[in-house]
Structure 1
Amino acid sequence: MTGLKRSSADLDPRRRRILFRCWHRGIREMDLMLGQFAEQEIADMSDADLDALELVMKEEDNDLVKWITGADVWPERMDTPMFRRIAALRPDFDPVTMELSGKLK
């Protein structure tokens, strides 16, 4: 299950690559957090926004999860408009919780 609902056919190569990388982070929570964010926003992002998103994507998944969920305070370097936009999104974790409970097959 990738979670991807948006086609990347109309995106330029950079946006396609970023969208793919957001949905394939390594841990499912980050797939859902960054993947859903990118899916909603990628088409309308400026080059500066894409640069800022790529900087966020360089961070370790475990750190990002803690910062985005509020389990840990994010460092000053992450206090950027892009990171705040990502942290403001509340991803849909239903696919994960349903999968874990055995309700989704």
Structure 2
Amino acid sequence: MTQEPENHEHRLKRLKMRSMRRGIKEMDILLTAYADANLGLMDGARLDLYDQLLHENDQDLYQWVTGQVTPPSPYTDLINHVAQTHQTK
């Protein structure tokens, strides 16, 4: 059975919801602010990377965003952007 590709608007809504409903409140706040400011501006490849990032453990994400631990290389730029977006609010 072949699954239909997800339409763009549905994908943005799904990613925003996953950004809002994390395991820890700190990540809810950080990722919701980032999603609100950036999801609509992202191309397909960037959305793919963000979708992958949302599958990571919240404790790891929090340590990466706060600079406690260096993020894995595929996420370095994205994590830096998430951290900067939150700092400017």
The count of corresponding residues between Structure 1 and Structure 2 is 82
**TM-score (ref. length: structure 2):** 0.78
Aligned residue in 2 for 1:52:
49
Deviation digits for residues 8-29 of structure 1, max 9, x if unmatched?
xxx7000000001100012110
Question: Where does the alignment leave 5 or more consecutive residues of structure 1 unmatched?
Answer: 1-10, 93-105
**Identical counterparts, % of pairs:** 32
2:33 matches 1:36 = yes
* C-alpha RMSD of the superposition: 2.2
Aligned residue in 1 for 2:66:
69
CA shift, 1:78, in A, is 4.7
Q: Which one of 83, 89, 96 corresponds to residue 85 of structure 2?
A: 89
CA shift, 1:89, in A, is 2.3
**TM-score (ref. length: structure 1):** 0.67
How far, CA to CA, are the matches of 1:15 and 1:79 in structure 2?
A: 19
How far, CA to CA, are the matches of 1:16 and 1:85 in structure 2?
A: 20
Return closer, same or farther for 1:46/1:79 CA change in 2, 3 Å cut-off.
closer
Larger relative contact order (C-alpha < 8 A, sep ≥ 6)?
2
Greater radius of gyration (CA): 1
SS of residue in 2 equivalent to 1:90: helix
Return closer, same or farther for 1:66/1:80 CA change in 2, 3 Å cut-off.
closer
How far, CA to CA, are the matches of 2:49 and 2:16 in structure 1?
A: 14
> For residue 80 of structure 1, what is the amino acid of its counterpart?
T
